[in-house]
Structure 1
């Protein structure tokens, strides 16, 4: 691959492509807005998890489903039941801790919401 100047016909083609891209209003709007995402954003994910406020019914349902999957996995030894339990149980535990934390009034690392 050469680092020199492009041949005249290739430079002409490149100039035409650039002109057509400059005329594309939607592309210009997207580039100006800076909304081109390249993948998941860990900061957004962490903020979303931190805002998680589960309901008691949701946690109870997940615990019941987890127990049912655990019993099914123990009785039958079915790999699908064991993997499903391994997927649902950590979510149920995490949401349960979030619910208990909210019920206890702890606002997290900053302390209680009333400033005491």
Structure 2
């Protein structure tokens, strides 16, 4: 079934059906491929770098404000890193959304 050839008429009909389905609200979202944004990997990199800097500064200075800043930033960095890992392990073309 890999070598199925469509005539021009069949191909045009198929394209019309696909465009009609894309215009539909519910199935249109399933047919579109999700875009992979650069913002999450960038944010994770910056959060991990900030956490590392705060950790080193907290160890070197023993300043409670720096230690508390590290304690505030580190869990958020871990959460975002987990989101990025989930994005990387989800197959392309499958969007995981809550159903109504």
TM-score tier, shorter chain, comes to: 0.5 to 0.7
Residue among 43, 53, 64 paired with 1:68: 53
CA distance in 2: counterparts of 1:94 and 1:55, whole angstroms: 11
TM-score, normalised with respect to structure 1: 0.45
Structure 1 residue ranges without an equivalent (≥5): 1-52, 107-111
Structure with max Cα Rg: 1
Partner of 1:113: 94
Aligned residues: 58
2:77 aligned residue (65, 68, 92)? 92
Q: TM-score, normalised by structure 2?
A: 0.52
Question: Looking at both structures, which has the greater relative contact order when contacts are Cα pairs under 8 Å and sequence separation is at least 6?
Answer: 2
Aligned-partner SS, 2:47: helix
Give the gaps of 5 or more residues in structure 2.
1-36, 96-100
